[in-house]
Amino acid sequence: MFHGKKIVVVMPAYNAAQTIERTYREIPLDLVDEVVVTDDASGDATVEVAGRLGLRTLVHIENRGYGGNQKTCYTEALRLGADICVMLHPDYQYTPKLLPAMIGLLADGPFDVVLGSRVLGGGALVGGMPLYKYVANRGLTLVQNWLCGAKLSEYHTGYRAFTREVLEALPLLENSDDFVFDNQMLTQVLLAGFAVGEVSCPTAYFEEASSINFRRSVRYGLGVLQTSCQAFWHRKGLGRVAIFDPDGRRLDPEQPEAGALERPRTLHTDAPR
């Protein structure tokens, strides 16, 4: 517990066998109550390594996609009674050393969501982000801020922390199972009026770190623009969009099979302290 809040770290994993232990070893377990790994049908030894570490591990028998994996992550966090949930990629691209700062900004306020921004402090290029991704990030962020009426430094970081209230309120089951899920979720956060904070996050790009190729990056970028335009239409009352519908399908920890979710297989039920 941190200031009376239960903290759950979720790690959506896909072929992370080479990096998951290094990531886990830097998590401040004095602040974190549970660490959950959700494996999206990896083709390597991710599940075996997580098991050796004694981590609570949920497995998709078939690949569900990055967004589908996050739906499982957050459903399990809610089921475990999380007051604060932090998504930490197990590829060691984002440092776990920022967890205390992110958790503190949620537990004590004033934010409902905290992002680890690669752009604040100029860390993206220093960390080795490919130039085309940096340019796309800055361009998309400029457009998104205008369409969404916000002032974030970036929308595309995978390092995020949420209060329970956010995870319960958003219609996350309406979102894609692909990479654009991240952007849809953050746009939902903004349109729902939740307070978003950012902390500067150093980032490392190396061979073992997860990254999408150029073709999928283009598809993601087009999905981002579509989501932002939908947000603009919704804000201006020009039309209804399912992902922004307050009555849309939400995660249900009591019925994790609902909607697009399938109940994964639990391999280990006791996360180490």
What average pLDDT does range 222-236 have in this prediction? 95
Residue 215 pLDDT: 79
User: Is pLDDT at 264 greater than 70 in this prediction?
Assistant: no
Alpha helices in the chain (DSSP H): 20-25, 46-52, 66-79, 99-107, 123-126, 131-148, 164-169, 181-191, 214-235
Distance of alpha carbon 150 from alpha carbon 168, whole angstroms: 22
The pLDDT value given to residue 22: 96
Residue 141 pLDDT grade (very low, low, confident, very high; cuts 50, 70, 90): very high
Who wins on pLDDT, 217 or 115? 115
Kindly give the interhelix angle for 131-148 and 181-191, rounded to the nearest 10 degrees: 30
Q: Is pLDDT at 273 greater than 60 in this prediction?
A: no
Identify the residue with better confidence: 134 or 149: 149
* Confidence check: pLDDT of 258 > 80: no
pLDDT given at position 52: 94
Peptide bond into 110 cis (omega under 30): yes
* CATH tag, 7-248: 3.90.550.10
Is 204 or 114 the better-scoring residue by pLDDT? 114
Domains of the chain by residue range:
7-248
Beta bridge partner(s), residue 56? 36
What integer is the mean pLDDT of 148-162? 95
Of the candidates 97, 63, 87, 81, the residue with the CA atom closest to the CA atom of residue 1: 81
The reported pLDDT for the residue numbered 104 is 96
Does residue 260 register a pLDDT over 70? no
Q: Tokens at residue 77, please?
A: 């966090």
Q: What mean pLDDT is reported for the chain?
A: 88
Tell me the helix, strand and coil percentages in the chain, rounded to 5.
40, 15, 45
| Cα–Cα dist 91/229, whole Å | 32
Q: What percent of the chain is modeled with pLDDT above 90? A: 73
pLDDT, greater one: 270 or 169 = 169
Q: What is the pLDDT of residue 263?
A: 39
> What is the percent of the chain where pLDDT is above 70?
88
Q: What is the pLDDT of residue 218?
A: 87
pTM of structure: 0.89
Strands 113-117 vs 160-163: parallel, antiparallel or unpaired: antiparallel
Q: Is 70 exceeded by the pLDDT of residue 126?
A: no
What integer is the mean pLDDT of 168-187?
A: 97
DSSP string across 102-169: HHHHHHSSS-SEEEEESSGGGHHHHTT--HHHHHHHHHHHHHHHHHHT---S-S--S-EEEEHHHHHH
What does the pLDDT average to over 190-211? 82
Residues 144, 94: Cα–Cα separation, whole Å: 23
Q: What pLDDT is stored for residue 162 in this prediction?
A: 98
